[in-house]
Structure 1
């Protein structure tokens, strides 16, 4: 697996300034513009492109809604949305952020990528740009930047669920099964993977407190050693964090070795139907965290669309199955546009920032509440647990909700079942 250098705020700022020189530059002198500019950064290409699958479609639909302008403070403001593909690359994220802030002079920055949110939050705080991000457990957004729930940040905000929410959900999924409570786990070495792997606060701690024993993992790019260790120890459960390519490599090797666990709950890897379909019949029964589905009983504060209507519109235009990130990319614009409207002065950055800090908005992913959050600059959203099941409908697999402790608004559709023998 990829080994990443540990992140610190000081090393990040020094490295970024040396690489681009942009952080030391004053804003480019331009004539004042009445047009409101929104910068949007997403992984439209590269290893994390699956997280940006619906983003260009989402931006196009938002642009259509904004053709008549945005009403705020008694005036109608023309709005321009400027999209940057960060190519799933940290250096490109930094470059794109600097371009939007220094060259394009954006009034608001929206970041639909967890890894980029860490670096770009730092840049936004330096330049005084109101910034909203999502797609990353809040701990992996806050702690690598040297802050804490009491301190927060001056200009950057984030809404998402917590890594602890996902981990407790995983354990509750397994509790529905008859297993030997033996677990094999492995993780991608990035900020989120490190949060999941933390011995005390991560998945190992939740496993121990839930009565599950852990099979010590082996660090190696070749998963065959891990497969053998998990199989020989009769681990009924496999878990961890990584993207689809990591899991598919492991799962192929598990099949070749005859390793057949009863449950596989791997964060991030099972979010998208395309990843499940790529496994063929062996994708049936995979369990995952569920951020959003068309079945949530929420509507968009901006368009009035229900979650189902939003998903249906995407499927009709793309000829592809809905994806969980669809709801969050839409909600990101909901929260950002709401702040521009409620500020009464969308080009007053401090006014927009202050609205973010007090936002309490019902969105297509549910309540986004900064006003009463105990975590400064963070609004926690709901999270459920689910299982991919083979379907006889229009999609090869459907995601069925099997656990809703942290998402009581979402109806449980079935109990979790053990993986079928394939």
Structure 2
């Protein structure tokens, strides 16, 4: 939590009196200078409030690294408000850091719902969305989320695909599709088809390791033998047991779901132990440029899923920008290489604002909820379709496979090339899978 210097911390009554006095003086000053008929701000019923929950800190902070750029950009885009059914509304976006913690997600979700009273809640973190989904449903607040396989979002919520949920929605790809995408990618290189898997013990890891709907059935159906080491705790810093099993089994492919710190630790220990697989394809832990740079010379050739890249042939329904233009704008503003959540953050805002517009009355929660349920929207990540989905309240998007390869030119060391598009042929290939090279 942020720490703020408070000179009156030991005297709460004095602090409260000073605050009330200052507030009264400010109100009087504003009243004295205001012109007749001039309003300092629109009334609450003329301001749309969008709550946005994101992991700006904690273990998933990399997933929120580009979020402030996306939100600031949309704030500027909507600075003059939006018109809905002939009425003009200001738009306020209230950002809450869930610190990569489900308990913190619940806390900030409560703060939003009880204090800020948002008209819609957007969550770019699937695990955080799961933590507050029941609260949003109970309070009748429309919520849309992304940022994790849809199986993880429903796993602990007694989901019935025919009934769905009252007010909560999610759009993202599925762990089953990811497993098929990985297997299709590996078919491009000769291996002994032995895959060693490791999974972080969180919603994403549990979804991907699921024996019925995750990676295992997809890998086995494609003819790969799975050496499964199960789930590891998020505070794990010793992977010697997993590495020993992989070496003993003759594993040539490593796959699974980890975060950046886990992958760096695992890979360093693998190198020290003399374990040299031909392919390493990791969900989450290899999404970002920092994921690869953390590995130094061993980063070249790492592979992962691709949620979104500048080469996606889609445009923003909100601004009309192409994927490439959004990525270029991010780099120009921050000096940083684009990241995959950049596209989904933008798409999440697209979906939220489109629902508010389509509702006809953004202050009516049921109308906003119904607008989401009937939505079919072309976004910068592709089509988000709740209306025609066989899974109620879920819009299934699609992915491709990528490999980090040394950049041909430019300021950044590695580029994420699209090297497999079996699940999403609309996205063009930009390279081919190469075996890992060990210097």
Q: Same fold (TM over 0.5)?
A: yes
Please report the TM-score for the alignment, with normalisation by the length of structure 2. Answer: 0.87
1:412 maps to which of 429, 434, 437: 429
- Structure 2 vs 1, CA of residues 404 and 339 (structure 1 numbering), >3 Å: closer, same or farther? same
For the residue of structure 2 that corresponds to 1:300, the secondary structure is coil
The range that moved more, 217-226 or 248-257, is 217-226
2:400 maps to which of 361, 371, 384: 384
1:74–1:344 contact (8 Å) kept in structure 2: no
Cross-structure match for 2:117: 105
| Cα offset, 1:216, TM superposition | 4.1
Alignment gaps of 5+ in structure 2? 1-42
What is the alpha-carbon distance in structure 1 between the residues aligned to residue 240 and residue 317 of structure 2?
Answer: 48
What is the alpha-carbon distance in structure 2 between the residues aligned to residue 115 and residue 42 of structure 1?
Answer: 10
| Cα offset, 1:378, TM superposition | 0.6
For the residue of structure 2 that corresponds to 1:116, the secondary structure is helix
Give yes or no for the alignment of 1:123 onto 2:135: yes
What is the alpha-carbon distance in structure 1 between the residues aligned to residue 365 and residue 398 of structure 2?
Answer: 29
Give yes or no for the alignment of 1:70 onto 2:82: yes
Cross-structure match for 2:338: 322
Cross-structure match for 1:189: 201
2:175–2:213 contact (8 Å) kept in structure 1: no
| Cα offset, 1:67, TM superposition | 0.8
Give yes or no for the alignment of 1:398 onto 2:420: no
Cross-structure match for 2:65: 53
The range that moved more, 328-337 or 114-123, is 114-123
Alignment of 1:146-157 (within 5 A): 146-157=158-169
Cross-structure match for 1:180: 192
Q: Residue by residue, what CA displacement relative to the aligned partner does 1:258-306 show, whole Å, maximum 9, x if unpaired?
A: 1110000111111001110110110111111110000111111111111
Cross-structure match for 1:421: 438
When the two structures are aligned, how many residues end up with a matched partner?
A: 392
2:196–2:246 contact (8 Å) kept in structure 1: yes
Give yes or no for the alignment of 1:94 onto 2:111: no
Question: Between Structure 1 and Structure 2, whose CA radius of gyration is higher?
Answer: 2
Give yes or no for the alignment of 1:138 onto 2:150: yes
Q: Residue by residue, what CA displacement relative to the aligned partner does 1:370-411 show, whole Å, maximum 9, x if unpaired?
A: 111111001111210111101132211101111112211100
1:335 maps to which of 348, 351, 357: 351
What is the alpha-carbon distance in structure 1 between the residues aligned to residue 292 and residue 404 of structure 2?
Answer: 8
Q: Residue by residue, what CA displacement relative to the aligned partner does 1:38-96 show, whole Å, maximum 9, x if unpaired?
A: 10000011111000001111111111011101110111101111111111111111111
| Cα offset, 1:202, TM superposition | 2.1
What is the alpha-carbon distance in structure 1 between the residues aligned to residue 44 and residue 301 of structure 2?
Answer: 56
Cross-structure match for 2:294: 278
For the residue of structure 1 that corresponds to 2:109, the secondary structure is helix
2:175 maps to which of 140, 149, 163: 163
Cross-structure match for 1:223: 239
Cross-structure match for 1:311: 327
What is the alpha-carbon distance in structure 1 between the residues aligned to residue 422 and residue 215 of structure 2?
Answer: 18
Cross-structure match for 2:126: 114
Q: Residue by residue, what CA displacement relative to the aligned partner does 1:124-169 show, whole Å, maximum 9, x if unpaired?
A: 1010001110001111111211113212101001110011111110
Cross-structure match for 1:3: none
Alignment of 1:226-241 (within 5 A): 226-241=242-257
1:218–1:225 contact (8 Å) kept in structure 2: no
| Cα offset, 1:413, TM superposition | 1.9
For the residue of structure 1 that corresponds to 2:46, the secondary structure is coil
Alignment of 1:239-254 (within 5 A): 239-254=255-270
| Cα offset, 1:250, TM superposition | 0.7
RMSD: 1.3
Cross-structure match for 1:361: 377
Alignment gaps of 5+ in structure 1? 1-30
What is the alpha-carbon distance in structure 2 between the residues aligned to residue 320 and residue 366 of structure 1?
Answer: 24
- Structure 2 vs 1, CA of residues 232 and 95 (structure 1 numbering), >3 Å: closer, same or farther? same
